[in-house]
Amino acid sequence: MKLLPKNKLVPIISSWAQRYTVLAPSSTEQGECVFDIFKEETFTLEYRKPSLPPKSQLLPQSDVIFRVEKGTFREVLPERNVLMFGIRSCDLMGLRQSSSFMSRDTQDIYYRRRSDHCLKVVMACAGPQNETCFCTTSRSGPSATTGFDLQFYDLGDSFLVESGSTEGDELLKAGNLADVDDKDTVEQVNALRNKAVAAITEVPDVTRAMEILSSRGASEELWERFGDKCIVCGGCVYVCPTCTCFTVADFPSGPDTGERIRSWDTCLYGGFTKEASGHNPRSTQGLRLKRRHEHKLLYYNQTDVQEALCGCVGCGRCSDYCPVHIGTLEVVKAIVEEQS
C-alpha cells in the first residue's frame, strides 16, 4: 500500500492524463457530478453513486464497426487508452461480468480492444452511496477484492492506495509515495472495510426471490402487473452495469459509402424478440420484464458472475431511475411478498 496525501492527488492524476484519457468525477455548471474527461477545474471528490455506470467506455451507446468507402470496407477499431478514476466497486464488478460475457463464447473484438486498454481505479465506498445500494447482498462491494488496477481508501487527509496489477504498480511510480505496509495500516484498511460493510444493509429479499424463481417461480399476474405500468423507456437497461445487448444497423451515406453501427438495444422492446413471421415469443411487456429480471437473478452464467451473487451487481440504479418503480429492489420485494 501507498499513502497519497490529498494535495498530491491532482498532480498524480495530471501525470496519468499525459498517457491516458482519464475519466474522473467532474462537477457541471448545474452542480451535478458526471464522469467526464479529467480537468483540474471541474474535478471533484464530492460525488456519490454516478448516475451512469462506466460501461459506455467499453460498449459505446453507438459505435461504428466498419466504414465502406468507394466500395471497400475498413474495420474501425478503437485506439485510445482509458483510465477510469474513482469508479465504485459495484461498477467494477459490472465491467468484469461484462468482460467475461463478451469473451466467453466468442471474442467481441471491439469490446475486448477497449477493455484491454482500460485501467480501473476504484474508490472504495465508506458506506452506502444512497438508499438503494445493496452490494453487500450482491457481493460486489463496498470495496473490490480483485480486478482493479488501483483501489483508493479515503483516510480524510490522505488516501491509502492499494495496487491490484502491474499496471497499477506502474501508475504509482509517478507519485514518489511512501510505502505503508505495516500491521497498523492493514488493520486500518480492514477496519474501514468492515465499517463500510456494516453500514450497508443486507437485502434478504434478493436471495429469497432468487430461491423462489429457481423453484416455483413468480406468478404470471405479478409480471403482468409490472408490465401494465412499464412505459418501455428502456432506462433500467441503459443504467444497468451488466446489460450489454446491442443491435446492428447499416447507414449508407452515398452510393458506395456508409457505416455499420452497433448501438444499445433492450430486451424490453417488443421488436427485440419479434420473429420474421410477426410472431413474438415474448408477446407481452410482462413477459419481457420477467425475462430481464430472471436473466439477472436466475439464468445468469456462473463463470460470468465471478465472485458475485448473480447477474445483478447491487448498484440499485434501476430502482433509482425507473419512473414507475420497476427496479430490482421493487421486483424482488414483490416476488417475496407474493409468496408469503
Partner 1 sequence: MTNSIGEFEDADLFLITGTNTTAQHPLIGSRIINAKERGAQILLIDPREIQLAHFAVLHLKQNIGTDVAVLNGMMNIIIEEELYDKEFVEKRTEGFDALKALVSRYTPKIVQLISGINATDLERAARMYAQAPKAMILYAMGITQHTTGTDNVKSCANLAMLTGHLGKPSSGVNPLRGQNNVQGACDMGGLPVVYTGYQRVNDPAVKKKFEEAWGVSDLDDKPGLTITTMMEAAQRGDLKALYVMGENPLMSDPDTTHVELALSNLDFLVVQDIFLSETARLADVVLPAACFAEKEGTYTNTERKVQLSRKAISPPGLARSDWEIVVDICRRCGYDMNYKTIAAILSEINKVTPSYAGITYDRLRTSYGIQWPCPNEEHPGTVFLHKDQFTKGLGTFLPCEFKPPAEVPDSEYDFILTTGRVYYQYHTGTMTRRIEILEREAPEALLEINPDDARRLGIKNNDMVEVASRRGSVRLKAEVTPRVPRRVLFSTFHFSEAQINTLTNPAHDPVAGIPEYKGCAVNVRRCE
Q: Under the rule (CB under 8 A), what is the footprint of partner 1? A: 29-30, 228-229, 231-233, 247, 249, 263, 265, 269-271, 274, 278, 323-325
CB of 64 to partner 1, least distance (A): 14
Nearer to partner 1, 156 or 271 (CB): 271
CB of 53 to partner 1, least distance (A): 21
Q: Which of 17, 11, 19, 18 is nearest to 36 (CA)?
A: 17
CB of 222 to partner 1, least distance (A): 15
Nearer to partner 1, 228 or 337 (CB): 228
CB of 10 to partner 1, least distance (A): 24
Amino acid at position 235, single letter = G
CB of 141 to partner 1, least distance (A): 29
Nearer to partner 1, 71 or 278 (CB): 278
Nearer to partner 1, 263 or 303 (CB): 263
What does the alpha-carbon distance between residue 228 and residue 163 come to, in Å, rounded to a whole number? 48
What does the alpha-carbon distance between residue 289 and residue 225 come to, in Å, rounded to a whole number? 10
Phi, psi of 9 (to 5 degrees): -65, -50
What does the alpha-carbon distance between residue 330 and residue 173 come to, in Å, rounded to a whole number? 46
Taking each helix axis from N to C end, the angle separating 89-104 and 109-116, rounded to the nearest 10 degrees, works out to: 140
What does the alpha-carbon distance between residue 218 and residue 79 come to, in Å, rounded to a whole number? 46
Nearer to partner 1, 188 or 272 (CB): 272
Phi, psi of 263 (to 5 degrees): -145, 160
Nearer to partner 1, 217 or 234 (CB): 234
Compute CA distances 156 → 9, 25, 214, whole Å.
13, 18, 45
CB of 31 to partner 1, least distance (A): 8
Q: Which residues does residue 283 pair with via DSSP β-bridges, in sequence order? A: none
CB of 270 to partner 1, least distance (A): 6
For the purposes of burial, counting CB atoms within 10 Å of the CB of 274, is it exposed (0-12), middle (13-18) or buried (19 or more)?
Answer: middle
Nearer to partner 1, 191 or 232 (CB): 232
Compute CA distances 10 → 33, 174, 205, 295, whole Å.
17, 12, 42, 41
